[in-house]
Amino acid sequence: MNSNEGRKNVQQNCSVALLTGSASGLGQKLTRDFLARGYTVIATDINSAGLDESFGKCAELTSGKLLLKTLDVSQSQAWEALFADVLQQFSRLDVILNVAGYLKPGNLCDASSEEVHRHMDINVKGVIFGSQLAGAQMRKQGYGHIINIASLAGLAAVPGIGLYSASKFAVRAFSLSLAQELKSSGVAVTVICPDAIQTPMLTLQEDYEEAALTFSGNKSLTVDEVANAIFNEVLVHRPMELILPRYRGWLAKVGNLVPQSSFILANILRKKGLQEQKRRKGLRH
């Protein structure tokens, strides 16, 4: 069977999707959307109470369409146990979305060793462990799609959220390398680099002046906009990379291509970001 025939069969049958970070934000939205589109979904999160609150009463539970699993993405053994369970029950995996992430604003020289480990363990190791296992299984199948959520902060370094930015650079590099390695196997890898998304992760940054650059765009993306891009573009066309919105991506790439320009750009964008932070905090009171 060639890769095109494999993809056609995936569309004709009930596909299986595994998501991390399903308890809130983008992961929660995507989990609901995959269910609505008829997928069998394995929804995972380290926050088991959040999973139950979000999906515990879903009708899909009784029909076997939704499996809730507590998962610490930073632990390779936890990933291995999860995959053993998933493959025993479903014998296949069509899509994996590594959505789970962590961010705490702050200056790099002030970051504790705990924060360094936490950013790299969740954002980088979590993506690598899940992608490795998914890639090995999909390579055997001859089809599948690995989708990793990076960030515009993985295209150009962002001071104030430097650990997060560094971790997303790693996610992007890993994903693009993996895409080349798996291409001949009929397995697609897509890394998505979105601007700020209106989720709890964005809200927590409102009170940190160090994170002002996060708010320098004209508007934040909604989870609906990102989900629509995934279903209408990523799953259909299977690009190696998708940047949202594209114009901000070009700005980030210019900053990365000419690092010295970041000193000028950052000062301009920081002022804009501080104004937006102030506006957002005002709306809360």
Distance between CA atoms of residues 33 and 226, nearest Å: 12
Instruction: Work out the angle at residue 23's Cα, subtended by the Cα atoms of residues 17 and 24, and round it to the nearest 5 degrees.
Output: 110
pLDDT band at 4 (very low <50, low <70, confident <90, very high): very low
Residue 62: per-residue pLDDT: 64
Task: Return the structure tokens found at 132.
Answer: 């490795």
State the DSSP H helix or E strand holding residue 256, giving kind and residue range, or none if neither: helix 246-257
Residue 9 has pLDDT above 50, yes or no: no
39, 102, 164, 247: the active-site residue: 164
Fold for domain 3-283? Answer: Rossmann fold (3.40.50)
Q: State the number of CA atoms in the 13 A half-sphere of 167 facing the CB.
A: 26
User: Which DSSP string do the residues of 20-54 spell out, in sequence order?
Assistant: SSTTSHHHHHHHHHHHHTT-EEEEEES-HHHHHHH
pLDDT band at 12 (very low <50, low <70, confident <90, very high): very low
On average, the pLDDT of the chain sits at 92
In the sheet that holds 40-45, the strands lie side by side as 66-70, 40-45, 16-19, 95-98, 144-149, 187-194, 241-244
Residue 14: per-residue pLDDT: 80
Asked if 143 is an active-site residue, the reply is: no
The percent of residues in the chain predicted with pLDDT above 90, rounded, is 81
Task: Return the structure tokens found at 65.
Answer: 């369409």
Region 172-185: what's the mean pLDDT? 98
Region 23-40: what's the mean pLDDT? 96
CB 173 within 8 A of CB 181: no
- The amino acid sitting at 67 is L
If one compares 60 and 102, the residue with the highest pLDDT of the two is: 102
Residue 102 has pLDDT above 70, yes or no: yes
DSSP state of 62: T
Task: Return the structure tokens found at 201.
Answer: 């992760």
Residue 231 has pLDDT above 70, yes or no: yes
State the DSSP H helix or E strand holding residue 126, giving kind and residue range, or none if neither: helix 126-141
Region 209-214: what's the mean pLDDT? 96
* Site of tokens 């995972």: 44
Region 199-226: what's the mean pLDDT? 96
Burial status of residue 241 (CB atoms within 10 A of its CB: 0-12, 13-18, 19 or more): middle
Region 108-128: what's the mean pLDDT? 98
For the segment 39-66, what is each residue's pLDDT rounded down to a tens digit?
A: 999 999 999 999 999 998 877 766 679 9
For the segment 130-167, what is each residue's pLDDT rounded down to a tens digit?
A: 999 999 999 999 999 999 999 999 998 999 999 999 99
pLDDT band at 36 (very low <50, low <70, confident <90, very high): very high
The full set of domain ranges for the chain reads 3-283
